[in-house]
Amino acid sequence: MDQMEQKFIAAWAANREQAARIGVRMRPVEDASAMKNAHYCLSGNRISDGFRVLADKGRLDLSLEALAADKRFTGLFNDQEANNALMRLLDAGYRF
């Protein structure tokens, strides 16, 4: 696992912890499978329940999609995954 992946995994874990503190329950993700899970979540068309709840609370900054769109981590995702993340955020009214 390279350094960028490690930073992404740590940021995603921190975002999930922050989300939990504001009452948004997100599925736990093991570090060892975090990248696989991130790619899976961003490759499909289904929006997670956690994303919807974060949108309702005005905290999409804590979403996986926001991390995938973050310039620090864009190199970890293919074009389709990045586009899916960006479109979900834009459709939900996220402001960059």
Token pair belonging to 70: 């973050």
Q: Contact 72/12 with Cβ under 8 angstroms?
A: no
- pLDDT score of 64: 96
Q: Contact 22/56 with Cβ under 8 angstroms?
A: no
Q: Contact 3/13 with Cβ under 8 angstroms?
A: no
Average pLDDT per 10 consecutive residues for the chain, totaling 96 residues: 95 97 93 96 89 96 96 96 96 92
Token pair belonging to 18: 């922050």
- pLDDT score of 4: 96
Residue 38's contacts (CB-CB under 8 Å, 6 or more residues apart) are: 8, 12, 64, 68, 76, 77
- pLDDT score of 18: 97
- pLDDT score of 73: 97
